[in-house]
Amino acid sequence: MKQDIFQAIADPTRRAILTLIAIQALTPNAMAEKFDMSRQAVSKHIKVLHECELIKPEQSGREIYYHFNAKKMQEFDNWLAQFRKNWETQFNQLDGLLSSIKEQK
């Protein structure tokens, strides 16, 4: 069953894993060393991220390195962009209202 990208990024550990491998590809063992949890627990997080296509495995000898999938994150960012424009407009309107209230005092 394919995981939901929103569930994947909702977990702070998975966001931390994404941050780590955005800088450098890592093996599951190298990732597990960065967290206070078992290798099996980290593997479950990796599985969710992989099923959402946020990370990509690459075999190198006997090791598997996981890479950040920037293309998938870009798709997510493009989806968010439609809302970002609306938020920015509302925040700008709020800033204007607060400024006018401040000037009236």
Tens digit of pLDDT for each residue in 51-100?
999 999 999 999 999 999 999 888 888 888 888 888 898 999 999 888 88
CATH of the domain at 47: 1.10.10.10
| Alpha carbon distance 53, 35 (integer Å) | 22
Do 79 and 43 share a domain, yes or no? Answer: no
pTM: 0.76
Do 38 and 12 share a domain, yes or no? Answer: yes
Do 48 and 77 share a domain, yes or no? Answer: no
Alpha-carbon distances of 14 from 9, 10, 35, 61, 65, rounded to whole Å? 6, 8, 11, 26, 16
- Domain coverage including residue 79: 70-105
Q: How many domains does the chain have?
A: 2
Closest CA relative to residue 8, chosen from 56, 47, 48: 48
Please give the distance of CA 52 from its chain centroid, rounded to a whole number.
11
Do 7 and 22 share a domain, yes or no? Answer: yes
Do 14 and 51 share a domain, yes or no? Answer: yes
Closest CA relative to residue 55, chosen from 35, 70, 40: 70
Do 63 and 76 share a domain, yes or no? Answer: no
